[in-house]
Each structure stands twice: as structure tokens, then as C-alpha cells.
Amino acid sequence: MKTIMNRGWGWEALKGIIALVLAVIIFLNPAEALVTIATYLGALAVIAGIVIIIISLYSKTGIWKVFFGQGIIYALIGLLIITYPKITAGMLIFLVGLFITILGIIQLSAYLRLKEFMPARPMMLITAIISFLVGATLLFNPFEGALLATVIMG
């Protein structure tokens, strides 16, 4: 066991050094880092949208249209972020709030349509409500929402 743990210390040290270098870069140039993060999040949204679209097309359930629409929305928001990274970096918290609110509405729509398809339907309602509330908090009070996000992540 000790041998297995000793073998990985080099990779852990490398990850630590990379994290430190990235922290210094972000500290020295926070505006550019924010634009980079916004672009990265846009790319993730596009990829997530494409994956959801593909999964919805292969879905055998009756709600594939809901998932298809969700994928389209994700991809469009991602493309918008990638196209205008500086503008979206300034509005990042607001856009995240919009994204999460839309997700909550889509989840609620799926919950209402999934009468017999899923045994975990109550959990879908709970996540829809939480998503909507968190998204609305970020939309209507972005600064408090940013503090809330920092507390949750920290």
C-alpha cells in the first residue's frame, strides 16, 4: 500500500506546481483570466449541448423533445459566450443565473411530462426547484449570488 502511494507523489507535486502557476497568472492578470474562464465555460456549454442533443435523438422515452430543446439552448448559450467572451465575462454571474434558471424550468417541464417514465420523479422536482431558486438569486442579485457561490465552493 505504501509503495502505491509513494509512486504517485510526483504527479501530485506537478499538479500542485501547475495550480500555483495558474494562481499567480490569475492574480497578475485577473481580467484576462476571467475572459479565458468565460470562453472555457462557453466551450463546455456547447459540448454539453451537443452531447444532450445526441442522447435525446437516441432516447426511447417520450420526453426526448425536452432534452433536445435543452441541448439546443445549452449549445446556443455556449456559442454566445464564445463569440462575445469579454462582454460575457463582465456578465458571467448574470449569465450563469440565467443558465441555471432555464435549467430549472426545463427540469420542471420534464417533471410534469414524466408521469410514468421515472421512479426518481420526486427528486427531479426537488432539483428543479433548487435550480430555479439558485438561478433566480443569481439573476436578480448577482453580487450576493457571487458571494453565495464563493461560500458554497469555498
- With beta carbons less than 8 A apart as the criterion, state whether 83 and 116 touch: no
Q: Which three cell numbers stand for residue 142?
A: 448577482
Q: What is the pLDDT of residues 72-107, one digit of tens each?
A: 999 999 999 899 988 877 677 787 888 889 889 988
Q: Which of these ranges, 19-23, 60-64, 116-120, has the smallest mean pLDDT?
A: 116-120
d(CA 1, CA 8): 12
Q: What is the pLDDT of residues 7-43, one digit of tens each?
A: 667 778 888 888 888 778 777 777 777 788 888 889 9
pLDDT at position 73 = 93
3-state secondary structure the chain: CHHHHHHCHHHHHHHHHHHHHHHHHHHHCHHHHHHHHHHHHHHHHHHHHHHHHHHHHHCCCCCHHHHHHHHHHHHHHHHHHHHCHHHHHHCHHHHHHHHHHHHHHHHHHHHHHCCCCCCCHHHHHHHHHHHHHHHHHHHHCHHHHHHHHHHHHC
Q: Which three cell numbers stand for residue 5?
A: 502511494
pLDDT at position 47 = 95
What are the extents of the domains in the chain? 31-153
- Tally Cβ neighbours within 10 Å of residue 74: 24
In terms of Cα–Cα distance, which of 146, 129, 36 is closest to 86?
A: 36
Q: What is the pLDDT of residues 142-154, one digit of tens each?
A: 767 666 665 555 4
